[in-house]
Amino acid sequence: MWPRPEIATPLVSYSAAKMPSRLPRLLALVPVAARALSISTPPPATASYDHLKKLLRDVNALSEVEGILSYDEQCFMPPGAAASRATQKAALAKVVHEMRTGEAMAAAVEAVRGREAELPDAKMRANVRDAVESFDKQARKSAELAEAEARLESEAFAAWQGARKEKDFSAFAPKLKEMFALKQQVAKITRPAVAEPYDGALDAFERGMTAERLDEIFAELRAGVVPLLAAIQEKRKNSPEIDAPPDALKAGPAWDEAAQAELSREIAIALGWQADNGRLDVSTHPFTGGAGPEDVRITTRYSDNWIEGLGATVHETGHALYEQGRDLGEEGRGLPASVALSMGVHESQSLLWERMVGQSRAYWSWVTPKVHERFPFTKECTAEDFYKAFNRVTPGCIRVESDEVTYPLHVILRYDIERALFRGEMSVDELPEYWNTRMKADLGVDVPDDAQ
């Protein structure tokens, strides 16, 4: 920045004209003045912002590597690699945390803190706002805690897979206990001002949401849905034929999984998912992952129940469309303004496509010929038959297979359990009995085993 003409020129000019004998001494002071001005006068906000932007993109790039490791872990990784993957993810999480909260990032954040108004673009201002907020939260957490968190998440996932396969909750319980204890610690450290630790955990997924507010929403929702479900079940009991699907649309081995996979891919692409920037695979639990808008990977799962696979595909395609639609411009790519706003917004997009599109008559008028082509035994079934089968209220144990009426009850049950565990009002060992009791009370479902 030095020399600044408006300061340097008058100083030298005045000294030469009025006090020639003091000129050498005054010129000697110029470097001192320069240093003082460089300390007291911050660089332009845009220059500080550009520096912060580079650091944020470096962190984002490594976070995308974390995403690929997690996707591989859930889709392709051999079971014997679980321990080494936990070590890899823990080491990477420590590096990412140190980059996210280290001296360089701290200095860059302080250089823009409170200066959003000096930036000319709304996205720039959003990047600064969110970067500062994220830094303040993450800087409260040690690198060791970030490392432990990543390691435990990987170990817990492996334990869950094994326990699910063996239908044995006790095999998962120890890791689940560790997980809740660790998440309580993280919530308290990163968000100390919240009313209760669970609010801190909520904030990581749904910024600003509180348990108090969810209590209000879920209480009203449950009060309406439980009697509605009971009325539906009573009507079906008295008239079982009212929504019985044709035999051809019932679950069974005729629904070839390879053909389901081909149809799922065709549907996802037709809905707008860009296959050149993603993958469609199979996992134990359907999810959307990958490494950002240019590498969006989705999974589904197939079974004798064709509704499960097609429903999950449309749902995850909704997530993928949101991810692929994120801003890749100069103020978006790899920056906070382009990050998914919240889990609630993300789910709104997946459910928009699954519920508003995938459960519509117009959709089934379009899809039915495609199903007929791959599954000729359904050719006598009309689009209306498919529409009714797909919209049938069928209480069950699995959330991702649930219908529009029972889906909220699955979510509310998980919320009630999570909050009780965070508050110490329930132990992990008590979870299965509570789960089974609530499934029976709310959905009228008997849970046959721990995997369910």
Closest residue by Cα to residue 301 from 399, 226, 234: 399
Tokens of 354: 């699954």
Omega prior to 3 cis, within 30 of 0:
yes
For every residue of 139-169, DSSP letters joined together read TTS-HHHHHHHHHHHHHHHHHHHHHHHHT-G
Q: Are 304 and 259 in contact (CB under 8 A)?
A: no
Tokens of 349: 């997009």
Tokens of 30: 């110029």
CA 28 – CA 63 distance, rounded (Å): 50
CA 321 – CA 345 distance, rounded (Å): 12
Tokens of 198: 């669970």
Q: Which long-range contacts does 72-81 make (Cβ < 8 Å, 24+ apart)?
A: 73/154, 73/157, 74/157, 74/283, 74/284, 74/285, 74/287, 74/289, 74/299, 75/281, 75/282, 75/283, 75/299, 76/281, 79/158, 79/161
Which of 316, 331, 347, 354 does the annotation list as catalytic?
Answer: 316
User: Residue type at 24?
Assistant: P
CA 73 – CA 399 distance, rounded (Å): 22
Asked about 316 being catalytic, the answer comes back as yes
Q: HSE on the CB side for 45, CA within 13 Å?
A: 14
Q: Are 340 and 322 in contact (CB under 8 A)?
A: yes
Q: Are 264 and 310 in contact (CB under 8 A)?
A: yes
Closest residue by Cα to residue 273 from 307, 298, 309: 298
Q: HSE on the CB side for 7, CA within 13 Å?
A: 11
Name, in order, each residue with C-beta under 8 angstroms of 213's C-beta and a sequence gap of 6 or more. none
CA 198 – CA 203 distance, rounded (Å): 9
CA 159 – CA 174 distance, rounded (Å): 9
Which residues carry out catalysis? 316
